[in-house]
Structure 1
Amino acid sequence: MTEEQNKQPADQAEHLMEPTIHSEPIFKGRVISLQVDTVQLPDGKTATREIVRHPGASAVMALLDGKLLVVEQYRKPLGKLQIEIPAGKLDGGENPMEAAYRELEEETGYRAKSMKPVSSFFTSPGFADEKLFLYFTEDLEAGRMQLDDDEFLEIKTITLEEAIQYIQEERISDAKTILAVYAWRLYALTGEI
């Protein structure tokens, strides 16, 4: 593809941009902030966009003796228990891989001796800027669990078959864990992440 052909899609898409006319902060919490932006639409009209700002997060697909290391915890926004891979938000510009090492040990009591990146993705780009970084390890040793004061969870290991069943039952229903399970299935088939 020539440089001109490569530039064309971006040039064509520029007309879809929504420049911000005004931004109003609404809420600033420990984890997120909320703002309402007035934007100019491509047709010249204006609209509002409610935007959640988030520092980003890291998650770990950790295999222990061939099983996925997960946590089960109550998720208030969903009103139910969820089985998820260990994860947590980045602290003040923290390196995502360092956060992955930290969160894995804090939530599960296992320390990774090495990790490799799997993917990164935006969790809900229609209203939030949270970027999640997913890492993989099967190189674990005993560490020290250090849950936050308001964090209550149970540690489990599950087989690939159980993970797929839990997705069908919606016991696993968050994007990061579903992506991790399908990456794990690919790893089981090909030996590559």
Structure 2
Amino acid sequence: MSDDHLIEHRVSQQELLHGHFLHAFRDTVRLPNQALATREYVVHPGAVMVIPMLDTPEGMRLVLERQYRYPVGQVMIEFPAGKLDAGEDPWWCAQRELFEETGYSARQWARAGVLHPVIAYSTEVIEIWFAKDLSLGERQLDAEEFLDVFTATPAQLMAWCRDGQVTDAKTLTGALWLQNTLSGQWPLTWQSLP
């Protein structure tokens, strides 16, 4: 089946902002019915999110973060994540972000999939990675980065998602992946670091 009856085509483009991190545009597009409309959106370099699973004597725990997010004005519970540097391999970015933010390194990795967190106004795509067989080192936060690292059980995370304590889209998507992976519904293909 063709999607031609849904696709919009750019007629013109205006750059609104070219910042250090974000690049914003306003495009005029031709709709499928030939009318013109305006679309404003942000070009994003892409990112990764890591679901770190820590084996403890009491059972598996998840490594999570609490970080203040200025645009929403509150401290959020999140899985470790970060943006891709230009030309960076997403798996390398996942390893780098996990270590920098939490101090953990993982010997086992599995790529789960991707998510588009804000499709109405951003090109952002986030690759979802699982990490296990963790070992702790000393984290290396960026100079402007302040966050707490803590662990929780999968059941605790699911309760926080249900109760509205976790509202971050990527972490909610990660919880869905985690739930289906742990139940055996969505198997992962693990790879070991050399």
Fold similarity call, TM over 0.5:
yes
> Equivalents in 2 of 1:15, 1:189: separation in Å?
39
**TM-score, normalising length: structure 1:** 0.90
Contact 2:17 2:25 in 1 (8 A): yes
Deviation at 1:104, TM superposition (A): 0.3
TM-superposition CA deviations, 1:109-144 (whole Å, max 9, x none): 001123110111211111110010000011211233
**Equivalent of residue 31 in structure 1, options 21, 32, 37:** 21
> Equivalents in 2 of 1:72, 1:89: separation in Å?
17
Is 1:167–2:161 an aligned residue pair?
A: yes
**TM-score, normalising length: structure 2:** 0.89
In structure 2, stretches of 5+ residues that fail to align are 189-194
Contact 2:95 2:105 in 1 (8 A): yes
TM-superposition CA deviations, 1:85-110 (whole Å, max 9, x none): 00000000211111000000000000
Give 1 or 2: higher helix fraction.
1
Task: Letter of the 2:48 partner, please give it.
Answer: S
TM-superposition CA deviations, 1:71-96 (whole Å, max 9, x none): 00111111111110000000002111
> Equivalents in 2 of 1:53, 1:150: separation in Å?
23
Is 1:158–2:152 an aligned residue pair?
A: yes
**Equivalent of residue 68 in structure 2, options 49, 65, 74:** 74
Identity of aligned residues (%): 36
Deviation at 1:170, TM superposition (A): 2.4
Is 1:108–2:102 an aligned residue pair?
A: yes
Deviation at 1:156, TM superposition (A): 0.5
Task: Letter of the 2:75 partner, please give it.
Answer: L
TM-superposition CA deviations, 1:145-175 (whole Å, max 9, x none): 1111111100010111210121133221112
Tell me how large the CA RMSD over aligned residues is: 1.4
| Local SS of the residue matching 2:143 | coil
Contact 2:4 2:32 in 1 (8 A): no
Give 1 or 2: higher strand fraction.
2
| Local SS of the residue matching 1:141 | strand
> Equivalents in 2 of 1:45, 1:183: separation in Å?
40
**Equivalent of residue 184 in structure 1, options 178, 181, 186:** 178
Alignment match, 1:140: 134
Alignment match, 1:57: 47
| Local SS of the residue matching 1:16 | coil
**Equivalent of residue 42 in structure 1, options 32, 47, 61:** 32
